[in-house]
Amino acid sequence: MISTETAVHALLAKLPPLRQEIAKVIVGQEAVLDEVLVALLAGGHALLEGVPGLAKTLLVRTLAQATDLPFRRIQFTPDLMPTDILGTEILEEDHGTGHRSFKFNEGPIFASLVLADEINRTPPKTQAALLEAMQEGHVTYAGQEHALPKPFFLLATQNPIEQSGTYPLPEAQLDRFLLYIRIGYPTEQEELAVLSGTTGTARPEVKSVLAGEDVRQLQQLVRQVSFSPELLSFVNRLVRATRPATSEVKFIQDYGRWGAGPRAGQALILCAKARALLQGRFAATLDDIRALAPAVLRHRVLLNFNAEAENLTSDDAVVALLKAVAV
């Protein structure tokens, strides 16, 4: 725990330089970067979706450099096996005594910052290898639990337009992601800056700003951010309104197939607190909730075939919910 006000402010003072270091490499995408940092501070995981070439992998690599966290990248392919992620046991022999024993050889999941690149390119059997790690913070192999480092932050990427050879993530796995972040194309000026900055000889040097202990302390600090009973009630009603069987929101009644569970409310509260802290505030507001509701709910609200026929998405559902649920 952080014991003094001075220590708190010294810790928060590191957040603006963190953004500045990442901005040396990543041009624009401020909203995306905000959501990634919110997920990190809230202690959850994030799924990044965007077409090829939008610097998803580069963003995660730059974040690893700026936070000085042990980083591993896993390239997901159709032939990837669970042991390629988690690790496996190997038989070792003591040459002095001749005694043989099995030793667990840790896989790339044993890092503080893990990039699961193109996660939807691997079959469900391999995707499921991440479930226990994401939820419990440890891996079980041969009946033995192996703790993952703390902090443990998984960032997965996927391409929305690639269909051949892909395996959509099941809803149970999507729910393990705190945020589902969509990355759009850059503006004209941002793209011009990218073209200018990446085709010359200059290579920006990213300095480490946050250590692993700093991240752990920030994650503890997020839970101490004030959240009023009125906002708590609003989040509760917002999440409950996503469920077609009990919702009074017409959009959900007409187009909803399945609503969000209690984990969505927990995620929205923690993310709102993290956003407040990221902006130097010690109390969450309604704006924090509204800003993060799409990323928290878009993968937890499932729509029916009628919605698909009318080209409606879960983002449309979130907009309708925010308009209909009384503050």
SS (H, E, C) the chain: CCCCHHHHHHHHCCHHHHHHHHHCCCCCCHHHHHHHHHHHHHCCCEEEECCCCCCHHHHHHHHHHHHCCCEEEEECCCCCCHHHHHEEEEEEECCCCCCEEEEEEECCCCCCEEEEECHHHCCHHHHHHHHHHHHHCEEEECCEEEECCCCCEEEEEECCCCCCCCCCCCHHHHCCCCEEEECCCCCHHHHHHHHHHHCCCCCCCCCCCCCHHHHHHHHHHHCCCECCHHHHHHHHHHHHCCCCCCCCCHHHHHHEEECCCHHHHHHHHHHHHHHHHHCCCCECCHHHHHHHHHHHHCCCCEECHHHHHCCCCHHHHHHHHHHHCCC
Q: Mind listing the pLDDT tens digit for each residue in 133-157?
A: 888 888 887 778 888 888 888 999 8
State residue 130's pLDDT score. 85
pLDDT band at 305 (very low <50, low <70, confident <90, very high): very high
Q: Mind listing the pLDDT tens digit for each residue in 152-199?
A: 889 998 887 666 667 888 888 888 899 999 888 888 887 888 787 777
pTM over 0.75: yes
Q: Mind listing the pLDDT tens digit for each residue in 111-126?
A: 888 899 888 888 888 8
Please write down the long-range contacts of 242-249, taking CB distance under 8 Å and 24 or more positions apart.
242/297, 242/300, 242/301, 242/317, 242/321, 248/324, 249/320, 249/321, 249/324, 249/325
Average pLDDT of the segment spanning 268-274:
94
Say yes or no to pLDDT of 286 above 90. yes
Taken in order 246, 285, 230, 43, the sign of the CA dihedral is positive
